[in-house]
C-alpha cells in the first residue's frame, strides 16, 4: 500500500502535525509527501528529511499560496491516481482539505483516527470521545485524518527525493483575504509540555491574563481555555481545548476554574497528568484529575506563581 | 437569494453518552435528542441574513428518521420558511448525506448552503466540505463571520493559528463554528406558527442516491477510564506533587 501525506506548513515552516500523520501513514505502507504552496523550496527540503519518506511531491504555484481547499483538493485527487491512501493531520487545515479530496474520489473519510488495526480497519473517537468506534472501510482508496496526539512524531532521516508536479491552477472559486494569527512567545498549544488552561471563573479577559500569563511564564507553559472563556472573550478562539477545539495531550494539563464538561474533557483527557483547581469540590473535572486542589483560584493562582 | 440549512437530529449535548454493553453502539433509547448545536447556529445565521434582507427564503433540510421532523419543526419555529425531510431509518454516512444535499441544491438552487462544522455524534467534520466538492462550489468552513458582498461572500474562519478570511464566489457552502452567533430560542407563538409551515417528506430513492454505507462498524468501546487521583490541601502540597512529577524543577 502507498500513502500520500499532506504536508502542513505556514510561512515557510513545516508544521509538526505533519509528523504524526507520517507515522500513521507509515503503518499503512510506503509514504510519499505532498507539499502544495508558493515558494516552498525550504519546506520541501525540510519535508524530505522526515524519516521514512520515499518521495516529496512539490506543487509550487500561487494558487496554493494560502492552502485554499478549492485548489489543493483537485491537485491531491489527481495525484491520488497513484496512491491507495491520502493522509492528513486532523488540524483545521487537514479537516478543511481532506473531506474535499474524499468526495472527489467518492470515498467516505475516516476522521480523526486513533489507531490503525489493519489495512482497512481503524479506531476513531465518536460522541466527544465517550466512545471509541472500530470501523472497517470498504473503499478502495482511503482518505484519513489523524489525531496527532495518538501517534508519535516521525523523526529525521532521509533525505527523500524531491519531485516537481504540475499545478492544477487556480479554480477561481475562492481567494484569500487575510489572516489574524495569534502571536505568542509561548509554546504552541498542541506541542506544549505543560498547559495551563482557564475557564469562565476568571470573569474577565484582564483577570484571565493577569493571573495565567505569569503562571504560564514560570512553567514555560502554553495557555489554553474552555469554550466558555473563549465565548466570553477572555481568550482568542485558537486557545479552545475540547471536542470542537484543539486536542491536546501534554505532560501536565492544569485546569483552573473549568468545570469539566464532556466537551472540554474530550480535548484533554489523554494528558499524562491532570491538575484541577476549582472551588467546587464536586466539579466533574476532579473525576479525571490526578491532583485536585479545592479553593478560590483568585487566591491560589497568585500564591502558586509566587512560590514556584 | 435562497438559503438551505442542513440540520441533524443528534443526542442532546448535555447527555453523557453510554456505550451499550454488547459493544454495538451508543445507547440512544430514552435519551434526549436535539438539533445538533452547530446546526442551530447555521439556522440562526440563515435567519439573520433573511432579516437583513439578504435572503428571501430559508429552507431547513434533514436526513433521518420520522422523528427528525421535530428537529425541522424547531428550525421552522426559529424562523425557517419551509422544511424538507429525507426520511430513512438507515444510518446515512456523511458522503451519502452530502450526495443527497447536492441533489437538493441542484433542485433548489440556493445561493448559500449552511451546515454545522461537525455533528456531535459522529464527530466527522466532513459533510460540508464534501457537499462543496460535489457541487464544485467554494467552501467557508468553521465560520465565525459571514458577510455577503454582492455576488461574493467573505467568510472569517476559526483556524488553529487564529482567524483567516476568505472571499468566495456564490453559491457557496458555509460550515459554522461556535462564535458565529448565539442562536435564539423559539418563542411559544413561533412554535405554534411552525406547526402550519410546509414540511415535505421525501425518500433517498427520490434523489437516486445510493446510501449504502462504506464503513462497517465492527465495535464500539468505552475509552480507557481515568481514575480520580488525590486532593491536596494547599499550594505547597501541590508544588510538592508537581516537583515529584518533574513538571517543575
Ligand atoms: C456543540 C458544543 C461544543 C462544545 N465544545 C467545547 C469545547 O471544544 N471545549 C470546551 O471547553 N467546551 C465546549 N463546549 C462547552 C461545554 O459544554 C461547557 O459549557 C464549557 O466547557 C464550560 O466552560 P467552563 O468550565 O469554563 O465554565 P463553567 O462550566 O461555568 O465552569 C466554571 C467553573 O469554575 C468554577 N469556579 C467559579 N469560580 C471559581 C473560583 N473563584 N475559583 C475556582 N473555581 C471557580 C466553578 O465551580 C465551575 O466548576 C461545547 C458545547 C457545545 C454545545
Ligand atoms: N443526517 C443529516 N441530516 C442533515 N444534516 C446533516 C446530516 N448529517 C450531517 N449533516 C450536516 O453536516 C454537518 C456536519 O456533520 P458531520 O460531517 O457528520 O460532522 C452537520 O452539522 C449538519 O449540518
Split at pLDDT 50, 70, 90, the class of A46 is very high
Cβ contact, residue pair A92, B159, below 8 Å: yes
Contacts A101 to B, Cβ<8 Å: 133
For residue A263, the chain B residues in CB contact (below 8 A) are 13
* Alpha-carbon A194 to chain mean position: 16
Query: Radius of gyration of chain B from Cα atoms?
Result: 21
- Alpha-carbon distance of A45 to A58, in angstroms, equals 10
For residue range A134-149, what is the model confidence (pLDDT) as tens digits?
999 999 999 999 999 9
How many Å lie between the alpha carbon of A64 and the closest alpha carbon of chain B? Answer: 14
CB A267 less than 6 A from any atom of ligand 1: yes
- For residue A224 and ligand 1, the question of a CB distance below 6 A is answered with no
Instruction: Give how far A108 is from chain B: nearest CA, Å.
Output: 6
Task: Answer for the pair B194, B77: CB distance below 8 angstroms, yes or no.
Answer: yes
- In this prediction, residue A113 carries a pLDDT of 98
Confidence band, pLDDT 50/70/90 cuts, at residue B234: very high
Q: Is the pLDDT of residue A158 over 90?
A: no
User: Residue B247's pLDDT band (boundaries 50, 70, 90)?
Assistant: confident
Contact assessment for residue A176 and residue A62, using Cβ atoms and an 8 Å cutoff: no
Average pLDDT, chain A: 97
DSSP state of A50: B
Residue B237, φ and ψ in degrees, nearest 5: -65, -40
The pLDDT of residue A287 is: 94
d(CA A207, CA A236): 15
Provide mean pLDDT across the span B53-63. Answer: 97
Alpha-carbon distance B133 to B148, whole Å? Answer: 21
Q: What whole-number distance in Å separates Cα of residue B49 and Cα of residue B57?
A: 10
A52 burial via Cβ count (<10 Å: 0-12, 13-18, 19+):
middle
CA dist., res. A113 & res. A136, Å (int) = 12
Question: Mutate which of A231, A267, A278 to test ligand 1's pocket (most atoms within 8 Å of Cβ)?
Answer: A278
With contact defined as beta carbons under 8 Å apart, do B228 and A287 qualify? yes
Q: What is the pLDDT of residues A79-117, one digit of tens each?
A: 999 999 999 999 999 999 999 999 999 999 999 999 999
Total count of residues recorded for chain A: 308
Chain B hits for A194, Cβ within 8 Å: 247
pLDDT(B63) > 90? yes
> What DSSP designation does A170 have?
-
C-alpha cell at B127: 459533510
Residue A180, C-alpha cell as written in the block = 489574524
pLDDT of residue B109: 98
For the stretch B77-135, pLDDT in tens is: 999 999 999 999 999 999 999 999 999 999 999 999 999 999 999 999 999 999 999 99
User: What's the pLDDT score for residue B22?
Assistant: 96
Residues β-bridged to residue A194: A252
C-alpha cell at A162: 524531491
Q: Is A208 helix (H, G, I), strand (E, B) or coil?
A: helix
Give the pLDDT of residue A54: 97
Instruction: Give the E-state strand segments of chain B in sequence order.
Output: 2-6, 9-11, 33-35, 57-64, 82-87, 112-116, 139-149, 152-159, 162-169, 172-176, 199-202, 215-221, 230-232
Question: Which pLDDT value is given to residue A103?
Answer: 98
Dist CA B118 CA B8 (whole Å): 10
pLDDT at B228 over 90: no
B248's grid cell: 517543575
Give A76's contacts (C-beta < 8 A, 6+ positions apart): A4, A6, A34, A36, A86, A97, A101
Note the pLDDT of residue A56.
98
**pLDDT given for residue A184 in this prediction:** 85
**Cα(A270)–Cα(A222) distance, rounded to whole angstroms?**
17
Distance CA B46, CA B64 (A): 21
Please answer whether residues A187 and A222 qualify as being in contact, where contact means their C-beta atoms are separated by less than 8 angstroms.
yes
CA separation for the pair A51, A151 (Å, rounded): 14
Q: Which ligand is nearest to the CA of B6?
A: 2
Considering all CA atoms of chain B, what is the largest pairwise distance in Å, rounded to the nearest integer? 68
Residue in A with minimal Cα distance to B19: A131
Cell numbers linked to A118: 489493519
Question: How many A from CA of A294 to the centre of ligand 1?
Answer: 16
Encode pLDDT of A224-274 as tens digits.
999 999 999 999 999 999 999 999 999 999 999 999 999 999 999 999 999
Q: What cell does B72 get?
A: 425541522
Residue with the bigger pLDDT between B120 and B225: it is B120
Closest CB from B167, B214, B241 relative to A291: B241
- Grid coordinates belonging to B233: 490541601
* Torsion angles phi and psi, residue B98, rounded to 5: -60, -40
- Which pLDDT score is estimated for B226? 87
Say whether pLDDT at B54 is over 90: yes
Residues of chain B with pLDDT > 70, as a percent, come to 100
pLDDT at B225: 87
Q: Is residue A40 classed as helix, strand or coil in its secondary structure?
A: coil
β A142-146/A222-225 pair status = unpaired
pLDDT tens digits along A168-213: 999 999 999 999 998 888 999 999 999 999 999 999 999 999 999 9
Beta bridge partners of A123: A115, A134
**Best of B132, B142, B160, B217 to mutate (most A CBs within 10 Å, chain A):** B160
Amino acid at each position: 500500500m502507498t500513502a500520500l501525506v499532506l504536508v502542513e506548513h505556514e510561512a515557510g515552516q513545516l508544521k509538526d502535525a505533519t509528523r504524526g500523520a507520517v507515522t500513521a501513514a507509515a503503518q499503512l505502507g510506503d509514504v510519499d509527501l505532498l507539499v502544495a504552496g508558493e515558494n516552498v523550496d525550504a519546506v520541501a527540503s525540510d519535508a524530505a528529511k522526515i524519516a521514512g519518506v520515499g518521495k516529496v511531491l512539490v506543487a509550487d504555484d500561487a494558487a496554493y499560496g494560502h492552502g485554499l481547499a478549492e485548489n489543493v483538493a483537485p491537485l491531491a485527487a489527481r495525484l491520488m491516481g497513484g496512491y491507495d491512501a491520502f493522509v492528513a493531520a486532523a488540524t483545521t487545515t487537514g479537516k478543511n482539505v481532506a473531506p474535499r479530496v474524499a468526495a472527489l474520489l467518492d470515498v467516505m473519510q475516516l476522521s480523526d483516527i486513533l489507531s490503525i488495526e489493519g489495512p482497512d480497519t481503524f479506531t476513531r473517537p465518536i460522541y466527544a470521545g465517550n466512545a471509541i468506534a472500530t470501523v472497517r472501510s470498504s473503499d478502495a482508496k482511503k482518505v484519513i485524518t489523524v489525531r496527532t496526539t495518538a501517534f508519535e512524531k516521525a523523526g529525521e532521516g532521509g533525505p527523500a527525493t524531491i519531485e516537481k508536479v504540475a499545478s492544477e491552477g487556480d479554480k477561481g472559486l475562492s481567494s484569500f483575504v487575510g489572516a489574524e494569527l495569534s502571536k505568542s512567545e509561548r509554546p504552541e498549544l498542541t506541542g506544549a509540555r505543560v498547559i495551563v488552561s482557564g475557564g469562565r471563573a476568571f470573569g474577565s479577559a484582564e483577570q484571565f491574563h493577569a493571573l495565567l500569563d505569569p503562571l504560564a511564564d514560570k512553567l514555560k507553559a502554553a495557555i489554553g481555555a474552555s469554550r466558555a472563556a473563549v465565548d466570553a472573550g477572555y481568550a482568542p478562539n485558537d486557545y479552545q481545548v475540547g471536542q470542537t477545539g484543539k486536542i491536546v495531550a501534554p505532560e501536565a494539563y492544569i485546569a483552573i476554574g473549568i468545570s469539566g464538561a464532556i466537551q472540554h474533557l474530550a480535548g484533554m483527557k489523554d494528558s499524562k497528568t491532570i491538575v484541577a483547581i476549582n472551588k467546587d469540590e464536586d466539579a466533574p473535572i476532579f473525576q479525571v484529575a490526578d491532583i485536585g486542589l479545592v479553593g478560590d483560584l483568585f487566591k491560589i493562582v497568585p500564591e502558586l506563581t509566587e512560590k514556584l | 437569494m435562497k438559503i438551505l440549512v442542513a440540520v441533524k437530529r443528534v443526542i442532546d449535548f448535555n447527555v453523557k453518552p453510554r456505550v451499550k454493553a454488547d459493544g454495538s453502539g451508543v445507547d440512544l433509547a430514552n435519551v434526549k435528542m436535539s438539533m445538533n448545536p452547530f446546526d442551530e447556529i447555521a439556522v440562526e445565521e440563515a435567519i439573520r441574513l433573511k432579516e437583513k434582507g439578504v435572503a428571501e427564503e430559508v429552507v431547513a433540510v434533514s436526513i433521518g428518521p420520522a422523528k427528525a421532523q421535530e428537529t425541522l419543526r424547531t428550525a421552522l419555529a426559529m424562523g425557517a420558511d419551509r422544511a424538507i425531510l429525507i426520511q430513512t431509518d438507515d444510518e446515512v454516512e456523511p458522503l451519502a448525506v452530502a450526495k443527497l444535499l447536492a441533489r437538493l441544491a441542484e433542485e433548489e438552487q440556493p445561493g448559500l448552503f449552511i451546515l454545522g462544522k461537525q455533528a456531535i455524534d459522529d464527530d466527522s467534520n466532513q459533510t460540508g466540505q464534501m457537499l462543496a466538492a460535489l457541487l464544485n462550489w467554494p467552501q467557508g468552513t468553521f465560520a465565525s463571520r459571514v458577510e455577503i458582498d454582492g455576488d461574493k461572500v467573505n467568510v472569517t474562519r476559526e483556524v488553529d493559528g487564529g482567524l483567516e478570511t476568505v472571499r468566495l464566489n456564490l453559491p457557496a457552502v458555509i460550515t459554522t463554528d461556535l462564535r458565529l452567533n448565539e442562536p435564539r430560542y423559539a418563542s411559544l407563538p413561533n412554535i405554534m406558527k411552525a406547526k402550519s409551515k410546509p414540511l415535505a417528506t421525501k425518500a433517498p430513492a427520490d434523489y437516486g442516491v445510493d446510501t449504502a454505507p462504506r464503513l462497517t462498524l465492527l465495535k464500539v468501546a468505552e475509552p480507557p477510564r481515568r481514575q480520580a487521583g488525590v486532593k491536596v490541601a494547599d499550594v505547597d502540597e501541590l508544588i510538592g506533587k508537581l516537583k515529584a512529577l518533574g513538571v517543575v524543577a
